[in-house]
Amino acid sequence: MIPLLSIVPIRKEPSETSEMVSQLLFGEEVEALEVSGSWTKVKVKHDGYIGWVDTIMLSDENVKTSHNIVTSVTADIKSDGGVFPVVMGTFLPPVENGRFVIGASEYELINGVISSHAMDADTAMSTLMQLRNAPYLWGGRSSLGIDCSGFAQLFYRLMGKMIPRDAYLQIELGDDVFLSDAQVGDLAFFEKEGRVCHVGVMIDSNNIIHSSGQVRIDIIDANGIYVKSRNKYSHKLLSVKRL
């Protein structure tokens, strides 16, 4: 099953009033685990995330996998139903002359930029800079609203690497590095009362880009993230990992 809509909410419980815990992007495959009324409990194939999706937002179509990934903030796709946007990080099936097929339906990419190759860390960082000032949204995965771990996941997605959805799982990956040795693309994790509460992507050993209120660039040192405009630290550093 896949969504054929730009962005679809994944909820904690099978209800429109339940907390949105993540999102599906156009064409992302899920496995149906359970049905409750008009809701389907799904497991996202690329990261194993589990939650509830309104069944009407899912299609039984299959999609061919490829690394045609949207690298502009949005891209416009035309189908029989009209034109709609998809967002950075969306994977598309094989595209030929701007067109691709899902099931019996043909789609046309009419605006936006896609890449057919996994990026290196510098290129992925340059691409992610387009999301600077995008608003923070709990459970969000797009320029319309993105959370901290969704932002980290998107960075690695651009490089062709699939990592878990949540920061407490992301921290289990890779190797610890000293902050002074941090390189572009390393992940910095932060804690509150001994628990992982935040993650950001290192630009270099002194600067970090992360989603906190909005996607922003801040100074980082051994104490954590220092917000210059507020003259205070916002997050306490836990560790830096190289994946």
Active site residues: 148, 198, 210
* Pairwise CA distance, residues 5 & 201, whole Å: 28
DSSP class of residue 173 equals: S
Query: Closest Cα to residue 77, out of 123, 25, 124, 40?
Result: 25
* Residue 12 backbone phi and psi in degrees, to 5: -65, -40
Q: Are residues 169 and 50 in contact, defined by beta-carbon separation less than 8 angstroms? A: no
Helix or strand (DSSP H, E) at 194: none
Write b or e for each residue in 209-221: b if 16 or more Cβ atoms lie within 10 A of its Cβ, otherwise e.
bbbbeebbebebe
CB atoms closer than 10 angstroms to residue 47: 16
- DSSP, residue by residue, 63-108: -----EEE-SSEEEEEETTEEEEEETT-EES--BTTEEEETTEEEE
Query: Closest Cα to residue 79, out of 9, 5, 1?
Result: 5
Q: Are residues 74 and 112 in contact, defined by beta-carbon separation less than 8 angstroms? A: yes
CA count, 13 A, side-chain hemisphere, 84? 12
